[in-house]
């Protein structure tokens, strides 16, 4: 057994050592490394007799688990893990002669890793991730590239990735080391490190807009190779630049360069890869002529209608103002029905203002309603209020005398101003003065004598001259007695709104009445005759033309019309050209075709603040939206100080004489436009534009569709809301705000919302 | 004459507490003891003055009780709280007024008897003969509400007497642009002047504009900055500038109101009722008076439900209790702010009610008993002429105990306005019929 194997090995390995009986040496084959967990067969040449040996590791017969074991025939087994003292001595000692032995050194090592391939095998200096194919790769293998440790990601014993900073240039070693006691490093794989890539220089593909005006401007620059810190240069001068992405920058600046010049725009990248792009030219253009025809049509429809929508704007652009007026005057009247509740009446009212095709009639009736006022705060049922609106609509293009007469006899006004059941003086009381007073003060001649141009007549002492006295009121009151609610049946009736008031002769004062301007109503006239006389008296008063003209112009066109304009309108009231006084069609045509109304280049004091009802309806129309007739949002208008159909008094929502705060200018609508109303109205606009108010649905889609290009979006908003009159600086402010929004929907909302909140949109000018 | 307003200034003042400087015009008068405020609490519906203050001298009380029948106090809901006039005449306040009862004895609360709209002094004989002018539509809620607010005895006038008062003393507010005339219950005629606008500040609404909060924060900031830029651009068009100014004022007010809770908190607790929140809002605005440079302010609050045609007993007590809780808290807040003697609160209602009941309630009347409260009030007294309870008596417009006022609203308002700082010429402008009355100053203000 043992002897026989020993002899065999001796023949195989051939090495010999001196042998002597009782003396000589044992030679053990051979030293070397043994990977943990593996074995190595050793042999001993023992020229002794007997030639038996005993094997030991580090002096321990048979070895141990720490330093490895050796079998009786010299098979060394390395331990599972390498000890710190990983070089062990394995000795064969003669059993006969214990002082004779031979030994070898065994180095216990980690498994040897191999790097077969590296991918990529060539990479530029800098951050790189390589994939190593090899063997004996372990999760704790250490990867070095040119001596720099990379961060490993173990995949399998044959594959791992490593990421790190490649340094050097040319061939560099890639090694893998299996660490621990007896660590072993692989043979190097020579990879190639190339010079790092330079970033591409900046390049411009588009500068937008390509033409700008003198003054401040914003540019959008598209291209490539932009970095944080890139600057847009305008003729070499750096602009305030905002980095959007590697392919887009925006910049703002201002210029006084002459119109017609071309200025090169470049992009300059900062160090360490400083570079300047090639130029793209931007030209300085003349400020564009505003599109006057769009301004003309838009302004006209603001006055003659509840603002333009797309259809009406196109109609006026194509056919002109006169044709539109003719068509509107001839158009059949939209029927006004009496709904079951006042709330419904409010919604139907708004819906009619927004959608009725006879827009001019609606606007005219609305303007007349500033003068002939009724309110649901007293007339609380629809039949007590809506019929008055029917009268305003019916007679909007008729004669004011007719309108006034029918209003005076209406049961609605009879309730509102207490003419119904006003009786001749008796022990029960005097004739009611409420309607007669307002007939004079608010519906026809006003408090003071007027010049034909609407200015106040002054007496020799420079004081206004009262148009009437309390005595006059009493006389009118007597004249207007004797009406009651229908049907009469010979007795005074309580409230009944099924028709106009009816006469009740026994309650009528039949004395003679002295009215204004020397007119005397003779004694013994009927109820109707006296009312006719009273109405005629105020209708024919020289004040009435300028009084009405002032109010209608303020309601429709401008709060500060020139006296000459008022006079022209008053003249049309006095004589429509065919000798007729009070022709409202002539009055409205005069108002709307007057050169001052058609003055499309805004003068300093031109225009009027839009009231809440008008502005809301007009905004919805401008966006081609709709106003719900079953409107649940009408309550909002109460907080706007303009409770629909419900002004707080017969003076209406705002006084035509109210002045812009701390100003000499008239601004009636400012009376209901304090900061609170402004914010509340703005919040409704936000709700409408945000699609959060189902009563005023509008589509934002056309705006969202162009919102990817900020200039295009602003153009569209400008056209629709301002008819192209948006000032350049507002455009710039919007551009900045829009560029900061998250997506197209946000941009569309912001463009419309900020424009709608501006004074330019708040005012009809 | 709006001043050009640089963007830099506007941005600076829009930031929180710094928002104050837009309104903080140099106004020496706004400092210290020169500040005054008038606070009207309007009781909508027609408060029954007969049961708010009850005469307790034996004869008067017995007459009252006999006429009022089941409506007479005290009853199962409402005790009477003893007070007396300066001359010792005893009265009883409706038990609902318990929270302000102590102010009578400490002389910060007084009653003004039988106040109402009049064109000129009017006797029963004259009224029944119809030979003197009287206010139009006397028993109509809408007409009388307008008249008590406009101070004009016909349904005429598009301005309120407080608005006209604010017009008159504009100079005392210098160049300050904070609204001088503020309603906490929506837009109201009372606060509207010919020049000053009525500003309504709803409790809890700080004028924050919608559509300005969005993700990311940079987008929200861009919206606010965009709006400011759009509003401060000088278009050269007067009406456009004026409109922009209103919205700029709103943005400044917004900053102011948002910071009010922290810069000048009012720590006096207020009841959480509607009228409590309104008076709390008034207190909060008064707390800002120095920062906004205001020297004179008028306020309007209101409480509805007083049209007690039925179920008067408990409802009336409950309404008065709600009112008194809020008024008491408000008075305490003026003490806290050191302006108790500079703020005068007074009630109005469109009319009183019939002394004679209708069922469980009473009908529309005319003259009414009103109340004034404040450190400058010569309290603990009953002013004017308290009518002896009677039906068809000398103060009765008919035979149901509808009081013909013996003190006109003009006199009541002129007394308040005089204390407020108006001279006689201004008083006559504000109250066109004041000249018809001999006594221009009832004397309840120190």
| pLDDT tens, position by position, A172-187 | 999 999 999 999 999 9
Structure tokens at B52: 């708010």
* pLDDT at residue B155, as a whole number: 65
The answer to whether A500 and A488 have CB atoms below 8 angstroms apart is no
Mean pLDDT of all residues in B326-351: 97
- Give the model's confidence band at A425: pLDDT under 50 very low, under 70 low, under 90 confident, else very high: confident
pLDDT digits (tens, 9 = 90+) for B223-263: 999 999 999 888 889 999 999 999 998 998 888 888 776 77
What is the distance in angstroms between the Cα of A374 and the nearest Cα belonging to chain B? 13
Of B2, B222, B230, the CB nearest to A758: B230
Share of chain A above pLDDT 70, in %: 96
Chain B residues lying within 8 Å of A655, measured CB to CB: 158
The domain B7-206+268-436 having CATH identifier 3.30.70: the answer here is: no
User: What's the confidence (pLDDT) of residue A14?
Assistant: 38
- CA angle (A453 as vertex; A449, A454 as ends), nearest 5: 45
**pLDDT range class, residue B26, cuts 50, 70, 90:** very low
Contacts of A648 in chain B (CB under 8 A): 146, 187-189
Chain B hits for A763, Cβ within 8 Å: 237, 239-240, 243
Q: Which of A600, A707, A74 is nearest to A291 (CA)?
A: A600
What residues of chain B, 139 to 158, have a C-beta less than 8 Å from chain A?
140, 142-143, 146, 154-158
**pLDDT higher than threshold 70 for residue A210:** yes
Q: How far A473 CA sits from the closest chain B CA (Å)?
A: 12
Per the structure block, which two tokens stand in for B199?
């500003």
Q: Is A609 on the interface with B (CB under 8 A)?
A: yes
Contact of A382 with A348, CB cutoff 8 Å: no
Predicted confidence at residue A649, as pLDDT, reads 78
Q: Return the closest-CA partner of residue A362 out of A375, A374, A348, A376.
A: A348
Cβ distance A351 to A422 under 8 Å? no
pLDDT of A377: 87
Count of all residues that appear for chain A in the document: 765
Residue-wise pLDDT for A269-296, tens only, equals: 998 788 999 999 999 987 767 789 999 9
Q: A740: Cβ–Cβ under 8 A, 6 or more apart, which residues?
A: B218, B219, B221, B222
What pLDDT sits at residue B60?
96
Partner-chain residue, chosen from B210, B214, B246, that has the shortest CB–CB distance to A674: B246
CB B99 within 8 A of CB B325: yes
A-chain CB neighbours of B230 within 8 Å are 730, 733-734, 754-755, 757-758
Give the C-alpha separation, A126 to A140, whole Å. Answer: 24
Give the span between the Cα atoms of A197 and A199, in whole angstroms: 6
Question: Is there a contact between B222 and A765 if contact means CB atoms under 8 Å apart?
Answer: no
Residue B2 has pLDDT above 50, yes or no: no
pLDDT band of B31, cuts 50, 70, 90: very low
> What pLDDT, on the 0 to 100 scale, is given for residue B361?
84
Q: Are A683 and B209 in contact (CB under 8 A)?
A: yes
Under the banding of pLDDT at 50, 70 and 90, the label for residue B198 is confident
Touching A: B residues 155-184, CB under 8 Å:
155-158, 179
A433: which 2 tokens? Answer: 């003065």
Q: What is the Cα–Cα distance from A412 to A409, expressed in whole angstroms?
A: 9
pLDDT > 70? residue B330? yes
Angle at B258 between CA B253 and CA B260, to 5 degrees: 90
Across A200-209, A506-515, B122-131, the highest mean pLDDT is recorded for A506-515
> Whole-angstrom Cα distance, residue A265 to residue A207?
8
Q: Is the pTM of this model over 0.90?
A: no
pLDDT digits (tens, 9 = 90+) for A63-97: 999 999 999 999 999 999 999 999 999 999 999 88
Chain B contacts in chain A segment 656-675 (CB below 8 A): 657-663, 665, 667, 670-675
Q: What is the mean pLDDT of residues A652-676?
A: 89
B186 vs A758: CB contact, 8 Å cut-off? no
The pLDDT of residue A242: 87
Contact A78, A68 (CB under 8 A): yes
How far apart are alpha carbons B343 and B420 in whole angstroms? Answer: 9
- Nearest CB partner across the interface for A686, out of B210, B215, B254: B210
Q: Where are the domains of chain B?
A: 7-206+268-436
Reply yes or no on whether the pLDDT at A15 is more than 50.
Answer: no
Please state the φ and ψ torsions of residue B238, each to the nearest 5 degrees.
-60, -45
The DSSP secondary-structure symbol of A506 reads G
Interface probe with B: pick from A649, A760, A764, most Cβ of B within 10 Å: A649
| Average pLDDT value for residue range B186-205 | 83
* pLDDT for the residue numbered A428: 58
pLDDT in tens, A327-338: 999 999 999 999
B120 touches chain A (CB under 8 A): no
- What DSSP string runs through B165-231? HHHHTGGGGTT--S-SEEESSSS-GGG--SSSPEEE--TT---PPTT---SSHHHHHHHHHHHHHHH
Q: Does A599 touch chain B (CB under 8 A)?
A: no
> Which among B230, B281, B302 is the top mutation candidate for probing chain A, defined by the most A β-carbons within 10 Å of its own β-carbon?
B230
Residue B77 CB-half CA count within 13 A = 18
Q: Quick count: other Cβ atoms within 10 Å of Cβ A564?
A: 12
B63-86 mean pLDDT: 94
**B208–chain A nearest CA distance, Å:** 7
Please indicate if any CB of chain A lies within 8 Å of the CB of B221: yes
pLDDT at A577 over 70: yes
Contact with chain A for residue B66, Cβ under 8 A: no
Residue of B nearest to A429 (CA): B130
Q: Which of A373-382, A576-585, B28-37, B305-314 has the lowest mean pLDDT?
A: B28-37
Q: Which residues pair with A172 in a beta bridge?
A: A191
Which pLDDT band holds residue A351 (cuts at 50, 70, 90)?
A: very high
Q: A347 φ, ψ to 5°?
A: -65, -40
Show contacts of A139-142: CB within 8 Å, 24+ apart.
A140/A178, A140/A179, A140/A180, A141/A113, A141/A176, A141/A177, A141/A178, A141/A179, A142/A176, A142/A177, A142/A178, A142/A179
Judged by a CB distance cut-off of 8 A, whether residue B58 touches chain A is no
Output the pLDDT for position B130.
81
pLDDT of residue B389: 96
B238 touches A at CB < 8 Å:
yes
Inter-chain contacts counted by CB atoms under 8 A, chains A and B: 212
The pLDDT value recorded for residue B444 is: 97
Cα dihedral A282/A288/A294/A299 (nearest 10)? 120
The 10s digit of each residue's pLDDT in A470-482 is 889 989 999 999 9
How does A45-84 read in b/e, with b if 16+ C-beta sit within 10 Å?
A: bbbbeebbbebbbbeeeebeebbbbbeebbebbbbeebbe
| Mean pLDDT across A482-495 | 86
Q: What pLDDT, on a 0 to 100 scale, did the predictor assign at position B203?
A: 87
Does B29 have pLDDT greater than 80? no
CA–CA distance from A302 to each of A349, A389, A688, A765, B243 (Å)?
18, 21, 20, 9, 17
pLDDT for A662 equals 75
Q: Containing H/E element for A177?
A: strand A170-178
Percent of chain A with pLDDT strictly greater than 90: 78
Please give the distance of CA A517 from its chain centroid, rounded to a whole number: 61
Question: In the structure, what pLDDT confidence band is assigned to residue A429 with cuts at 50, 70 and 90?
Answer: low
Cα separation of A538 and A439, whole Å? 8
Report the greatest alpha carbon distance in chain B. 76
Q: Which of residues 740-759 of A touch B (CB under 8 A)?
A: 740-742, 746, 749-750, 753-755, 757-759
Q: At what angle do helices B238-263 and A675-689 cross, to 10 degrees?
A: 100
- For residue A647, the chain B residues in CB contact (below 8 A) are none
Question: Does pLDDT of A655 surpass 60?
Answer: yes
Can you give the pLDDT at residue B6? 30
Q: Are A161 and A198 in contact (CB under 8 A)?
A: no
Phi/psi of residue A259, nearest 5 degrees:
-60, 135
pLDDT in tens, A115-143: 999 999 999 888 899 999 999 999 999 99
Q: Does A688 touch chain B (CB under 8 A)?
A: no
């Amino acid at each position: 057994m043992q002897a026989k194997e020993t002899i065999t090995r001796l023949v195989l390995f051939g090495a010999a050592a001196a042998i002597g009986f009782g003396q000589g040496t044992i030679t053990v084959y051979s030293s070397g490394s043994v990977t943990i967990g593996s074995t190595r067969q050793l042999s001993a040449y023992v020229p002794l007799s007997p030639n038996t040996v005993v094997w030991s590791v580090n002096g321990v017969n048979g070895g141990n688990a720490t330093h490895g074991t050796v079998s009786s025939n010299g098979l060394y087994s390395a331990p599972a893990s390498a000890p710190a003292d990983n070089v062990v001595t394995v000795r064969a000692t003669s059993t006969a002669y214990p002082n004779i032995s031979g030994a070898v050194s065994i180095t216990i090592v980690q498994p040897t890793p191999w790097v077969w391939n590296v991918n990529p095998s060539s990479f530029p200096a800098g951050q790189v991730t390589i994939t190593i194919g090899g063997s004996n790769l372990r999760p704790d293998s250490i990867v070095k590239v040119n001596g720099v440790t990379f961060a490993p990601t173990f995949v399998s014993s044959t594959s791992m990735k490593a990421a790190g900073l490649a340094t050097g240039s040319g061939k560099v070693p890639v090694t893998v080391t299996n660490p621990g006691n007896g660590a072993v490093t692989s043979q190097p794989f020579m990879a190639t490190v190339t010079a790092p890539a330079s970033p591409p220089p900046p390049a411009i593909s588009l500068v937008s807009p390509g033409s700008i005006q003198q003054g401040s401007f914003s540019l959008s620059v598209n291209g490539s190779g932009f970095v944080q810190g890139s600057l847009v240069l305008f003729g070499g001068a750096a602009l305030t630049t905002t980095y959007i992405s590697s392919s887009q920058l925006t910049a703002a600046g201002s210029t006084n360069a002459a119109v017609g010049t071309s200025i090169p725009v470049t992009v300059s990248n900062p160090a360490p890869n400083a570079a300047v792009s090639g130029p793209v030219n931007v030209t300085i253009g003349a400020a564009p002529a505003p599109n006057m025809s769009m301004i003309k049509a838009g302004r006209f429809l603001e006055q003659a209608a509840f603002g333009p929508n797309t259809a009406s704007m196109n109609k006026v652009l194509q056919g002109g103002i006169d044709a539109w007026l003719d068509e509107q005057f001839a158009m059949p009247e939209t029927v006004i029905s009496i709904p079951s509740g006042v709330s419904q009446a409010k919604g139907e009212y708004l819906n009619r203002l927004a959608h009725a095709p006879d827009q001019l009639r609606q606007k005219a009736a609305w303007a007349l309603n500033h003068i002939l006022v009724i309110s649901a705060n007293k007339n609380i049922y629809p039949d007590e209020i809506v019929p008055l609106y029917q009268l305003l609509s019916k007679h909007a293009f008729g004669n004011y005398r007719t309108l006034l007469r029918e209003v005076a006899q209406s049961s609605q006004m009879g309730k509102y101003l207490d003419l119904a059941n006003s009786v001749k003086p008796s022990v029960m009381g005097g004739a009611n003065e409420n309607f007669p007073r307002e007939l004079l003060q608010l519906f026809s001649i006003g408090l003071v004598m007027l010049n034909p141009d609407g200015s106040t007549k002054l007496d020799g002492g420079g004081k206004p001259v009262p148009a009437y006295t309390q005595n006059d009121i009493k006389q009118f009151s007597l004249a207007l007695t004797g009406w009651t609610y229908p049907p009469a049946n010979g007795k005074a009736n309580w409230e009944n709104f099924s028709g106009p008031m009816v006469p009740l002769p026994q309650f009528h004062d039949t004395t003679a009445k002295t009215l204004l301007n020397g007119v005397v109503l003779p004694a013994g006239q009927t109820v109707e005759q006296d009312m006719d006389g009273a109405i005629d008296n105020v209708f024919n008063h020289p004040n009435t033309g300028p009084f009405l003209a002032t109010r209608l112009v303020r309601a429709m066109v401008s709060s500060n019309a020139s006296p000459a304009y008022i006079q022209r309108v008053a003249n049309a009231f006095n004589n429509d050209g065919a000798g007729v006084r009070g022709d409202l069609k002539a009055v409205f045509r005069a108002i709307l075709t007057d050169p001052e109304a058609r003055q499309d280049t805004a003068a300093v004091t031109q225009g009027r603040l839009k009231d809440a009802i008008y502005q809301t309806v007009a905004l919805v129309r401008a966006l081609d939206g709709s106003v719900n007739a079953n409107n649940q949002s009408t309550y909002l208008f109460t907080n706007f100080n303009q409770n629909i159909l419900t002004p707080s008094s017969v003076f209406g929502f705002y006084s035509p004489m109210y002045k812009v705060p701390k100003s000499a200018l008239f601004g009636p609508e400012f009376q209901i436009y304090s900061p609170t109303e402004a914010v509340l109205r703005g919040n409704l606009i936000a709700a409408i534009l945000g699609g959060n108010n189902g009563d005023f649905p509008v589509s934002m889609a056309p705006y969202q569709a162009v919102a990817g290009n900020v200039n295009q979006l602003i153009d569209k908003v400008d056209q629709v809301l301002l008819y192209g009159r948006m000032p350049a600086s507002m455009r710039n402010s919007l551009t900045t705000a829009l560029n900061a929004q998250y997506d197209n929907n946000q941009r569309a909302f912001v463009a419309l919302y900020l424009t709608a909140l501006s004074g330019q949109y708040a005012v009809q000018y | 004459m709006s001043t050009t307003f640089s963007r830099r200034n506007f941005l600076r003042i829009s930031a929180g507490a710094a928002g104050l400087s837009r309104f903080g015009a140099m106004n020496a008068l706004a400092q210290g003891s020169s500040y005054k405020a008038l606070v009207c609490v309007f009781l909508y519906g027609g408060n029954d003055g007969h049961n708010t203050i009850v005469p307790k001298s034996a004869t008067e009380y017995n007459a009252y009780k006999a006429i009022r029948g089941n409506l007479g106090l005290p009853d199962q809901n409402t005790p009477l709280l003893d007070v007396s006039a300066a001359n010792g005449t005893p009265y009883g306040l409706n038990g609902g007024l318990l929270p302000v009862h102590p102010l009578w004895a400490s002389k910060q609360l007084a009653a003004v008897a039988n106040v109402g709209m009049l064109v000129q002094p009017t006797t029963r004989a004259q009224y029944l003969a119809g030979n003197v002018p009287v206010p139009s539509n006397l028993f109509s809620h809408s007409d009388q509400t307008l008249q008590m607010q406009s101070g004009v005895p016909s349904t005429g006038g598009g301005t309120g007497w407080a608005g006209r008062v604010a017009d008159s003393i504009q100079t005392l507010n210098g160049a300050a642009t904070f609204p001088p005339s503020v309603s906490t219950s929506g837009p109201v005629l009372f606060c509207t002047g010919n020049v000053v606008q009525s500003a309504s500040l709803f409790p809890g609404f700080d004028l924050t504009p919608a559509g300005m909060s969005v993700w990311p924060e940079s987008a929200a900031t861009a919206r606010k900055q965009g709006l400011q830029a759009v509003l401060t651009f000088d278009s050269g068009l007067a009406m456009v500038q004026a409109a922009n100014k209103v919205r700029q004022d709103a943005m400044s007010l917004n900053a102011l109101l948002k910071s009010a809770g922290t810069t000048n908190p009012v720590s006096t607790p207020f009841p959480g009722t509607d009228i409590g929140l309104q008076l709390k809002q008034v207190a909060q605005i008064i707390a800002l008076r120095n920062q906004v440079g205001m020297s004179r302010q008028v306020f309007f609050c209101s409480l509805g439900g007083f049209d007690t045609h039925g179920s008067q007993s408990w409802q009336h007590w409950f309404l008065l209790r709600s009112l008194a809780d809020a008024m008491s808290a408000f008075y305490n807040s003026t003490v806290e702010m050191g302006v108790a003697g500079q703020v005068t609160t007074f009630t109005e209602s469109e009319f009183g009610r019939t002394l004679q009941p209708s069922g469980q309630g009473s009908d529309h009347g005319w003259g009414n008993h009103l109340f004034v409260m404040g450190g400058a009030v010569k309290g603990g007294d009953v002013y004017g002429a308290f009518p002896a309870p009677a039906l068809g008596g000398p103060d009765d417009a008919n035979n149901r105990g509808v009081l013909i006022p013996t003190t006109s609203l003009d006199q009541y308002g002129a007394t308040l306005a005089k204390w407020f700082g108006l001279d006689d010429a201004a008083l006559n402008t504000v109250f066109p019929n004041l000249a018809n009355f001999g006594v221009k100053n009832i004397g309840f203000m120190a």
